[in-house]
Homo-oligomer: A and B are copies of this chain.
């Protein structure tokens, strides 16, 4: 059974769509298929998900950092990195929270076309945009040069362990081979339930509902920080489940703030943990916190945000 849902222009057929046990599984398959296809050097966004880089390194690929700024991955740098492939989060850079600009999209695709490079599009939360319609998938612009990886982990439930991969024709053989070797498959029962959920329109209704809920959560976080710690600047688009909070110079550093927050029962991350390690960056990066607003559930969220506001106000109040 194949259920079609026109999601952001992704061009998939029965031949190139592979349902996987989550996005991490799909990324591992994509990286291994690339390695089998001759890829040696993979460019990863800097900053990016440490888990994603761990998966890439585990497949034997060498990794090089592609710096990101307020317009997403700096695609213009790619030609001089010598990479055969690149993995990006164009809809919502993780963790910077920005969208890849139209110009950068063009540069990225031009690089892929001129060098034969492959782009892995990690679309982990592309449906969750709160300020406008979600941007289209990069894969829709050139299905022959992009491996698209989607998931229901952010949009529905990570517990479901359902993701998918849509690959370009020239990689179909390698993808099929890698899948057979890893031989991990998502539950058919869950896939059937998900297919029903999509067919009946309930998945789309769910997405619309979650957009409203997450938007409120994000708005509350923004308003609380603006009131309690106006020195801090929330950057990135209104999307997904995390916000990037830039820390002003002269205040406590990332490590100190994260450690103190943990003591106060607040789980926040420092941006430095997302840096592609061992790669020289230009050192101009402002420290920042990565704050997930998808949890805690229900009313506890309001209490948690208030506690975070109090904590940050205290941290930035001169003694």
A159–B183 touching, CB < 8 Å:
no
Looking at the complex, which of A21-29, A38-46, A227-235 is the stretch in contact with chain B? A21-29
For A21, give its contact among B21, B157, B181 (CB under 8 Å): B21
A sample of 17 more A-B contacts (CB under 8 A), given A28-B181, A54-B180, is: A20-B184, A21-B21, A21-B25, A21-B161, A21-B184, A21-B186, A22-B183, A22-B184, A24-B183, A25-B184, A28-B184, A54-B181, A55-B180, A157-B189, A160-B187, A182-B184, A187-B190
In the bound complex, CA of A184 to CA of B161 (Å): 8
- Identity of the chain B residue whose Cβ is nearest the Cβ of A162 in the assembled complex: B187
Give the 6 A-B CB pairs with smallest separation, nearest first: A58-B181, A24-B183, A25-B184, A159-B188, A184-B184, A21-B184
For A185, give its contact among B22, B55, B182 (CB under 8 Å): B22
* Number of copies of this chain that the complex holds: 2
Residues of A within 8 A of B (CB): 20-22, 24-25, 27-28, 51, 54-55, 57-59, 157-162, 177-178, 180-190
| Least Cβ–Cβ distance between A124 and chain B, in angstroms | 13
Give the residues in chain B near A55, CB-CB below 8 Å: 180-181, 183
For A161, give its contact among B158, B159, B188 (CB under 8 Å): B188
Give the residues in chain B near A20, CB-CB below 8 Å: 184
In the bound complex, CA of A27 to CA of B183 (Å): 9
In the bound complex, CA of A180 to CA of B58 (Å): 9
| Least Cβ–Cβ distance between A260 and chain B, in angstroms | 29
A25–B183 touching, CB < 8 Å:
yes
B187–A186 touching, CB < 8 Å:
yes
Give the residues in chain B near A186, CB-CB below 8 Å: 21, 161, 187
| Least Cβ–Cβ distance between A156 and chain B, in angstroms | 11
| Least Cβ–Cβ distance between A299 and chain B, in angstroms | 24
| Least Cβ–Cβ distance between A48 and chain B, in angstroms | 15
For A183, give its contact among B28, B158, B160, B180 (CB under 8 Å): B28
In the bound complex, CA of A29 to CA of B296 (Å): 33
In the bound complex, CA of A181 to CA of B185 (Å): 16
In the bound complex, CA of A210 to CA of B189 (Å): 20
For A187, give its contact among B25, B183, B187 (CB under 8 Å): B187
Give the residues in chain B near A28, CB-CB below 8 Å: 181-184
In the bound complex, CA of A160 to CA of B58 (Å): 27
Give the residues in chain B near A178, CB-CB below 8 Å: 58
Q: 27 interchain pairs (CB within 8 A)?
A: A20-B184, A21-B21, A21-B25, A22-B183, A25-B182, A25-B185, A28-B182, A28-B183, A28-B184, A51-B183, A54-B180, A54-B181, A55-B180, A55-B181, A58-B177, A58-B180, A58-B181, A58-B182, A157-B189, A159-B187, A160-B188, A161-B184, A161-B187, A182-B184, A184-B184, A187-B190, A189-B190
- Identity of the chain B residue whose Cβ is nearest the Cβ of A57 in the assembled complex: B181
In the bound complex, CA of A159 to CA of B57 (Å): 31
In the bound complex, CA of A160 to CA of B190 (Å): 8
